[in-house]
Structure 1
């Protein structure tokens, strides 16, 4: 899942070397924290959050474990 997030975001940003995806596993959920360069935050979020919503939709659809919920935080 981490590589999926990176591959989606790398095409959107100007500073791909600054992409960091941290994975936190809890009892009932998996949380992915996406950090990008501050100049690229607007590109990843998009107008009215449309790009962020699309990224989340793809990540949620690609989940393999049906038991845990997946969350994507963009910082």
Structure 2
């Protein structure tokens, strides 16, 4: 999941070197935390959260194949 999210987010931002993706296993759930530069946060979230929702949808679909639950958090 980490590589998938990292690749998608790096394609969206102006500062791909500042993108950091961390993956934490919380028992029954996998947490993917995305850190980006504060000037790029709007690009990752998108208008009315549409880009963030699209990223989450792709990650959820990939996680369903592995029978896992995933939470994606986007922070600056």
- The alignment's TM-score, normalised by the length of structure 2, stands at 0.93
> Counterpart of 1:43?
43
Stretches (4+) displaced over 4 A:
none
1:73 equivalent in structure 2 = 73
Name 1:59's counterpart in structure 2. Answer: 59
- TM-fit CA distance, 1:11: 1.0
Structure 1: stretches of 5+ with no match in the other structure: none
- Cα RMSD (Å) of the superposition? 0.8
1:14 equivalent in structure 2: 14
Alpha-carbon separation, structure 1, partners of 2:16 and 2:3? 13
- Whose helix proportion is higher, 1 or 2? 2
Question: How many residues get paired?
Answer: 74
